[in-house]
Amino acid sequence: MTEKNTKQPAKPKKAASKSKQTAKEKSLTKKIEKLEETVDKLTDELVDQQLRVQAAEEKMLRVVAEYENGKKRVEREKERSLVFAKDRVLMGLFPIIDNLERSAQYEQDSADSENSTKGVVLVLEQIKKFLKDTDDVEVFDPLGEAFDPDLHEAMAMQPSDEHKPGNIIQVFEKGYKSGDRVLRAAKVVVSQ
């Protein structure tokens, strides 16, 4: 039994020696704690820098998107300006065509000579062909059609026994279209 008694008190001595650290071990423990604190600080700084980089990337992406949108907006405005300018040029030709048509009608009515009307008619056909070829501009004469405020401009209304109410009985000026766009509404007289 004495052997067992001697062994048991020896075990607490070993435990007591484990809890005691040498000066070298204490020094290393402090260094490890300082290194762990440094790692924690560096990890926090790294996370902070990553957040800053992410914010900068998002800002850069927004700036690039705004630039692309601005570029597209400028292109749309440029196209719109070109269409507007082209329409102004085309609308300037319409009165000329009207006057040539009136002149051709007058020449036919006066029966002066067949040759004088041929020249005016040729010029009219040439202008109409030019308009059709350059911007698909077509003239439309709505005589006899039902009045449509999108296509026609009513200049007057007249009672008529020959026509249904709301039909066009006279055309003062023909209308012009370019594709689906109405460049000039036809000026008409509508039956009552």
- How many CB atoms neighbour CB 185 within 10 A? 19
Q: Which of 190, 172, 168 is nearest to 102 (CA)?
A: 172
- Residue from 76, 188, 181 nearest 138 by CA: 181
pLDDT at 105: 78
Q: What is the pLDDT along the chain (192 residues), one digit of tens a residue?
A: 444 454 455 444 444 445 678 888 889 999 999 999 999 999 999 999 999 999 999 999 999 999 999 999 999 999 999 988 888 888 888 888 887 887 777 776 666 566 666 777 778 888 888 888 877 889 999 999 999 999 999 999 999 889 999 999 999 999 999 888 999 999 999 999
pTM, rounded to two decimals: 0.51
DSSP of 93-107? HHHHHHHHHHHHHHH
Q: What pLDDT score does 21 carry?
A: 80
Q: State residue 111's pLDDT score.
A: 60
Identify the pLDDT of residue 93. Answer: 83
Set out the domains of the chain in order of their start, with CATH numbers.
137-192 (2.30.22.10)
Q: Do the Cβ atoms of 164 and 135 come closer than 8 Å?
A: no
pLDDT recorded at residue 15:
45
What pLDDT was estimated at residue 110? Answer: 67
- What does the block give as tokens for 149? 């405020």
Q: How many CA atoms lie within 13 A of 180 on its CB side?
A: 0
Q: Determine how β-strand 137-140 pairs with β-strand 175-178.
A: antiparallel
Residue 177 in contact with residue 183, Cβ under 8 Å?
yes
